[in-house]
Structure 1
């Protein structure tokens, strides 16, 4: 019995470490992409190449505490350049800015309707997992559309003590569903399933409500969470 508990405990620790690693690597990727944009605009930050090399070195050595500390020091300086403040949360704003650029690159109209919040209930890792997965799924769905408008609408609002998140996107075709769970058409559909499960786990952690509605030509995800 004890051996079984220890095995399950090790699996849980490994899963948490993998999620933390993925969150940090995502943050490195976003910062590196922002640096490339800065180069294109001819507004080069001194020593930025050395910063990118340092980030990659932390990643290769799997020095996650060191990487996390370095990212925190570097992020604020980079975010000052051509950075739209959507919510006041640096991590969430970074995700929204990057996904908006991704949408532009694939000819998808992205509308963002939000406000600045004093606090949000999520950690940086949870923000990356929650919004990263939802928006990546929306971008993937729009990319499949060939003969009609591609669009994504994001609404993040607070009413009284309730945080309301709504993400809607156009669809080329109705998604496959089995027992109310989405089935991916991607080859790595196991990973896609983990993405949806991570979203649901985060919402459940904060005693929130996760709902979705599927229409003929669009899909809406709705999340309601208590946020004091």
Structure 2
């Protein structure tokens, strides 16, 4: 557990360093952008000026985004996944208030596997897409809900099967998730209506 925690901290520090580098780059380019913006305003080219402002705001939000919940492991997971999947728009609803009874390595497995599955599904079927993640951790409850659109899915009864050719070494992610949730006496609910894959985990 200590090794896993240290590895996640290292990943988080690397994400922070990369974020600070992007901030320095933006600051370096700021002077030139302001000069261009001032020129456009003097020329009363307000449409182009507004376009430049919108583009710059999007650049700042994209390049400097960093998740900071106060939980090193959770922050590292999200920051790593966001950086690795720049084509995916992560819509996050995170409320981390208290420590819960779930062990750190189990949180890594739950979040890591499910976010990876969602990203793989999106990257397989779409060029870009939204990925919604709701994570609430209090002293009394752990709730994780992940939703993403999909075009193809393979099932066998109530089971979701991997679409990868190497079925022996893949498809164990959901098994690990179910095993962990079962160990804590929680529930896993999967819904695939309207081509939206949603998995919801609740542990009390």
Class of the TM-score when normalised by the shorter of the 2 chains:
0.5 to 0.7
Kept in 2, the 8 Å contact 1:23–1:129? The answer is: no
Number of residue pairs matched by the alignment: 165
Gaps of 5+ in 1: 1-19, 44-80
| 1:97-145 deviation line (CA, Å, top 9, x unaligned) | 21122232xx111101011222122222111111000000000011022
Kept in 1, the 8 Å contact 2:141–2:203? The answer is: yes
How far apart, in 2, do the equivalents of 1:187 and 1:100 lie? 26
Kept in 1, the 8 Å contact 2:147–2:196? The answer is: yes
Say whether 1:200 aligns with 2:200. no
Give the secondary-structure state (helix, strand or coil) at the position aligned to 1:185: coil
How far apart, in 1, do the equivalents of 2:184 and 2:203 lie? 7
Kept in 2, the 8 Å contact 1:153–1:168? The answer is: yes
Kept in 1, the 8 Å contact 2:100–2:139? The answer is: no
TM-score (norm 2): 0.67
Kept in 1, the 8 Å contact 2:12–2:79? The answer is: no
Alpha carbons of 1:206 and 1:217: their partners in 2 closer, same or farther (altered >3 Å)? same
TM-score (norm 1): 0.61
Give the secondary-structure state (helix, strand or coil) at the position aligned to 1:207: coil
Kept in 2, the 8 Å contact 1:84–1:93? The answer is: yes
RMSD (CA atoms): 3.2
How far apart, in 2, do the equivalents of 1:182 and 1:158 lie? 26
Name the structure, 1 or 2, with higher relative contact order (CA <8 Å, separation 6+). Answer: 2
How far apart, in 1, do the equivalents of 2:9 and 2:111 lie? 17
How far apart, in 1, do the equivalents of 2:20 and 2:140 lie? 42
Gaps of 5+ in 2: 25-63
